[in-house]
Chain A
Amino acid sequence: MITFSGTVKRYPNGFEALRGVTLTIEKGEMVAITGHSGAGKSTLLKLAAGIELASQGSVLVSNQNLSQIREAGLAVLRQNLGMVFQDHKLLFDRSVFENVSLPLSIAAFPRAEVGKRVRAALDKVGLLNREKAQPITLSGGEQQRLCIARAIVNRPAILIADEPTGNLDQAYAATIMDLFKSFNQVGVTVLLSTHDEIGLARLNCRRIHLDQGKLVV
């Protein structure tokens, strides 16, 4: 489903965030990327989402080489990916409902379907009663769950999450990890980066460790 082949990511200042990573993530698999800050975890996830391009080697997602994909193709690919960002990337001038419905608006879903899917996603993350609230009024954990609701509302085949429990206390982190586990159990491929050892123990999934841009076996 996701394949990195000799992938190198070099930034314009010469810094190599990834150094020849070769890795395959199978369909329906759940993989956790671990490593210290600056090890290349976020870069790896950005490459998988097509946010960054590989400097060398290739990244294939659903058999599409992201270095060669056109703008429209990349947009369609992203519509089928669920992205959970470390900094949430929520729109604070819109309600909870509107934030979650954004991917559906982009994919031009009919209005009736939008309502159903948004409420189902909010229900899944336990925010159904907050649909009219503004994101600024939510706690950190709730904002993270809102971000997850937005990522799953399109019912994506792949879920990519960058430090989804980064700023949360243990109780909240456990809830979030349980959510990812439940998505994976229904066949969603999950790729996430984390520092959270306790959370990882709950996930019981394949772990990949990165150190200075290299895979450590």
Chain B
Amino acid sequence: MIDSWLSAHLQAAKRALKRLVATPVASLLSVLVIGVAIMLPLGLYSVFANITAAASRLNTEPNVNVYLQVAATDAEAKETEKRLKALPNANDVRFISREVALAEMRRVANMTDLLAGLESNPLPHAFLIKPKSAEPSALDGMRKEIAALPKVDTVVMDFEWAKKLKRFAIFAERIVVLLGLVLALAVVFVTGNTIRLQILTQKDEIEVSRLIGATKRFIRRPFLYYGACQGFLAGVVAILAMTALITWASAEVQALTVSYASDFAIKYLSPLQILAVIGIGTILGWLGGFLSVSLYLRVYTSR
């Protein structure tokens, strides 16, 4: 029983492969079209996954950076610290001396040679304040109060854009999912249409098979394998094209990130993601075949 079942499936798979090889140009074009349809959401997913990864490295907590004038002395910095701690919206105030800032700059920015040439430390004393409330009105009031303090040079609140970026990444993720669903439907339709053309060339065989006792399942089987094969190959094409694209983009991004002293790099697809893409491609191809041949059998074949 299992032997017969297995043999029937093997025969159907062989027949599907034969059909695929029998029309190499048409098969290749279909696989490429489906591959591109899979690659579009995959590419967008990859872009936004990397943006999300980059955004997650950004500090989106509402921090306020206060830079004193370069001429401000240590005593004046102490006085400013006291006043900052007295602010009603200040939760935590951390003092970063100009010496600490310089050492940090040497460590992170790899600018040892450039900084060694300086006669004096060009960096000011600074404070990092964590506010109690992130309400825009409270922060705006706080900024005004700080700016009015003596020896304060600049007040920077630069977390808003990071928050926006994070929100954009979440929105983009949803768009990718939506686009993925739409293009998944496109894959089903493209495969279905290719198989519809196959069905038309096999019309006589289907009719004869029905007359001599083939079940709909038997007739459907080779077309399902055909669709699955196309989906599988299209998945492989999409993965190969994506990998080539990431490799190309990585070199460009790396050149950019080095100048910003960042170790950020574009991620390649993981083995699990590769398997998922190929698996989804195979399933969508199978589904396209199923819908196409089922529709044909329902509409066109006699009893």
Residues on A lying within 8 angstroms of B by beta carbon are 49-53, 71-72, 74-81, 83, 85, 89-91, 102-103, 105-111, 150
Q: How large is the interface on B (under 10, 10 to 19, 20 to 34, 35 or more residues)?
A: 20 to 34
Select which of A51, A78, A91, A103 is within 8 A of B204 by beta carbon: A91
Are A106 and B218 in contact (CB-based, < 8 A)? yes
Specify which chain A residues have a CB less than 8 angstroms from the CB of B215 in the assembled complex.
Answer: 71-72, 75, 106
Are A106 and B209 in contact (CB-based, < 8 A)? yes
The CA-CA distance from A49 to B8 in the complex, in Å, is 25
Which chain B residues in 173-214 approach chain A with CB under 8 Å?
204-205, 207-209, 211-214
Are A106 and B5 in contact (CB-based, < 8 A)? no
Are A108 and B8 in contact (CB-based, < 8 A)? yes
CB-CB under 8 A for A83 and B209, given A108-B7, A110-B3: no
Q: Smallest CB–CB gap between B8 and chain A, Å?
A: 5
Q: Which residue of A lies closest to B22 (CB)?
A: A93
Residues on B lying within 8 angstroms of A by beta carbon are 3-5, 7-8, 11, 204-205, 207-209, 211-216, 218, 302-303
Q: Which residue of B lies closest to A107 (CB)?
A: B213
Select which of B7, B212, B302 is within 8 A of A106 by beta carbon: B212
Q: Smallest CB–CB gap between B162 and chain A, Å?
A: 62
Specify which chain B residues have a CB less than 8 angstroms from the CB of A91 in the assembled complex.
Answer: 204-205, 208
Are A89 and B214 in contact (CB-based, < 8 A)? no
CB-CB under 8 A for A150 and B212, given A105-B11, A110-B3: yes
Q: Smallest CB–CB gap between A145 and chain B, Å?
A: 17
Select which of A89, A107, A111 is within 8 A of B208 by beta carbon: A89
CB-CB under 8 A for A79 and B208, given A51-B302, A51-B303: no
Specify which chain A residues have a CB less than 8 angstroms from the CB of B218 in the assembled complex.
Answer: 75, 106
Are B4 and A106 in contact (CB-based, < 8 A)? no
Q: Smallest CB–CB gap between B295 and chain A, Å?
A: 16
Are B211 and A51 in contact (CB-based, < 8 A)? yes
Specify which chain A residues have a CB less than 8 angstroms from the CB of B8 in the assembled complex.
Answer: 105, 108
The CA-CA distance from A91 to B218 in the complex, in Å, is 17
Select which of A75, A77, A85 is within 8 A of B214 by beta carbon: A75
The CA-CA distance from A74 to B214 in the complex, in Å, is 9
Q: Smallest CB–CB gap between B5 and chain A, Å?
A: 7
Are A110 and B212 in contact (CB-based, < 8 A)? no
The CA-CA distance from A103 to B212 in the complex, in Å, is 6
The CA-CA distance from A91 to B214 in the complex, in Å, is 15
The CA-CA distance from A109 to B212 in the complex, in Å, is 15
Q: Which residue of A lies closest to B297 (CB)?
A: A71
Select which of B4, B209, B213 is within 8 A of A76 by beta carbon: B213
Q: Smallest CB–CB gap between A171 and chain B, Å?
A: 28
Q: Smallest CB–CB gap between B12 and chain A, Å?
A: 9
Q: Which residue of A lies closest to B211 (CB)?
A: A83
Q: Smallest CB–CB gap between A62 and chain B, Å?
A: 14
Central interface residue in B4, B204, B212, B214, by most chain A CB within 10 Å: B212
The CA-CA distance from A50 to B212 in the complex, in Å, is 11
Specify which chain A residues have a CB less than 8 angstroms from the CB of B3 in the assembled complex.
Answer: 110
Q: Which residue of B lies closest to A77 (CB)?
A: B213
Specify which chain B residues have a CB less than 8 angstroms from the CB of A83 in the assembled complex.
Answer: 211-212
Specify which chain A residues have a CB less than 8 angstroms from the CB of B209 in the assembled complex.
Answer: 102, 106
Are B213 and A108 in contact (CB-based, < 8 A)? no
9 tightest CB-CB pairs across the interface, nearest first? A78-B213, A79-B213, A108-B4, A75-B215, A106-B214, A108-B8, A89-B208, A103-B212, A75-B213
The CA-CA distance from A31 to B109 in the complex, in Å, is 99
The CA-CA distance from A85 to B211 in the complex, in Å, is 10
Specify which chain B residues have a CB less than 8 angstroms from the CB of A111 in the assembled complex.
Answer: 7
The CA-CA distance from A49 to B212 in the complex, in Å, is 9
The CA-CA distance from A108 to B214 in the complex, in Å, is 10
Select which of A51, A108, A150 is within 8 A of B5 by beta carbon: A108
Are A71 and B216 in contact (CB-based, < 8 A)? yes
The CA-CA distance from A108 to B5 in the complex, in Å, is 7
Specify which chain B residues have a CB less than 8 angstroms from the CB of A52 in the assembled complex.
Answer: 303
Select which of A53, A71, A72, A78 is within 8 A of B212 by beta carbon: A78
